[in-house]
């Protein structure tokens, strides 16, 4: 066996990445070795830099750790190999069919809101209904953010219009904590967590992940503005079995009215009728 030297600056050695991911998945070295079909001794040598893993072993370890495609690429690079999965910009001609599918889903959601989000909750696109509802709730003002979490946590944005804000924000915080734990090397998710926690009057106990809290299967967001109540629940659509980093990280959130009053108001906005309070 020989020590593997890392000469590329800015790239964490594969051993450090594996230990970080094992910790996030709560796996012992023995458990990961068994799942990947490798001896504990060999895995130990990889983690300490005494052995160079083969590309096949890196793939097996990534499978055993259920790593996202972006993180799999990072693991391959840390081991000295080229990335395996492409990351194709959504605006390129290769993604034309994907863009058509996304546009179709957003359009079909009319007259109810729908959003295209990336892994950091940035709003990449939205249908006209989303703009209409936002304009109503914000009195025609443009939201200062293009990130859904900032929209909900910032008192100058949608937060003051959400009746059940603590319930909605608390659920989003649980999801964000889970994403930080699931992707320990994603600095962007950690930064987003710190940014949302920094907003005024965010409960202190939200700084800690509540591992015992069960995920909420369905939440209703309750807006109130000018005496009108709007209630929406959401569904998430993702691309199945993606082989591209960009596709894996996209999701479409569609909002549906919980009651007929909300549905009719959305239809009214779509028709351009004057709003009657």
- Are residue 188 and residue 62 in the same domain, yes or no? no
pLDDT for the residue 1: 37
Q: CB within 8 A of 129, min separation 6: which ones?
A: 109, 110, 111, 112, 113, 114, 266, 269, 270
Q: Which residue has the higher pLDDT, 159 or 277?
A: 159
- Are residue 179 and residue 214 in the same domain, yes or no? yes
Give me the CATH number covering residue 44: 1.10.260.40
- Using the 8-state DSSP alphabet, how is residue 251 labeled? E
Give me the CATH number covering residue 206: 3.30.450.180
Strands 228-238 and 251-257: antiparallel
Q: What is the pTM of this model?
A: 0.88
- Are 248 and 239 a contacting pair, CB within 8 Å? yes
Residue ranges making up the domain that contains 101: 93-271
Helix, strand or coil for residue 141? coil
164 within a domain of the structure (yes/no): yes
Q: Please, what's the b/e burial string for 28-45 (b: 16 or more CB within 10 A of its CB; e: otherwise)?
A: eeeebbebbebeeebbeb
How many domains is the chain partitioned into structurally?
A: 2
- Are residue 72 and residue 149 in the same domain, yes or no? no
Taking phi first (over 0 means left), then psi (-120 to 50 degrees means alpha), and beta for anything else, what does residue 112 get?
A: beta
Indicate whether 215 pLDDT > 90.
no
107 within a domain of the structure (yes/no): yes
pLDDT for the residue 162: 98
């Amino acid at each position: 066996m020989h020590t593997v030297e890392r000469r590329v600056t800015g790239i964490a050695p594969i051993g450090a990445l594996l230990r970080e991911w094992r910790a996030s998945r709560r796996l012992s070295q023995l458990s990961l070795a068994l799942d990947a079909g490798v001896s504990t001794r060999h895995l130990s040598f990889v983690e300490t830099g005494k052995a160079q893993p083969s590309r096949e072993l890196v793939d097996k370890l990534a499978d055993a750790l259920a790593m996202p495609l972006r993180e799999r690429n990072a693991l391959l690079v840390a081991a000295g190999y080229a990335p395996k999965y492409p990351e194709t910009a959504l605006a390129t001609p290769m993604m034309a069919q994907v863009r058509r599918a996304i546009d179709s889903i957003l359009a079909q959601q009319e007259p109810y809101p729908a959003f295209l989000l990336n892994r950091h909750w940035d709003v990449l696109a939205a249908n006209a209904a989303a703009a209409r509802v936002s304009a109503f709730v914000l009195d025609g003002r443009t939201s200062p953010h293009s990130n859904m979490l900032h929209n909900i946590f910032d008192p100058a944005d949608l937060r003051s219009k959400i009746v059940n804000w603590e319930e909605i924000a608390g659920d989003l915080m649980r999801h964000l904590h889970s994403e930080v734990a699931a992707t320990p090397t994603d600095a962007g998710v950690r930064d987003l967590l710190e940014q949302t926690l920094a907003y005024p009057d965010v409960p202190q106990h939200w700084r800690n992940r509540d591992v015992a809290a069960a995920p909420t299967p369905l939440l209703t967001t309750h807006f109130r503005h000018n005496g009108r109540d709007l209630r929406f629940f959401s569904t998430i659509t993702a691309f199945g079995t993606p082989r591209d980093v960009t596709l894996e990280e996209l999701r479409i959130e569609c909002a549906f009215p919980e009651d007929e009053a909300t549905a009719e108001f959305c239809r009214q906005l779509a028709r351009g009728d004057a709003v009657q309070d």
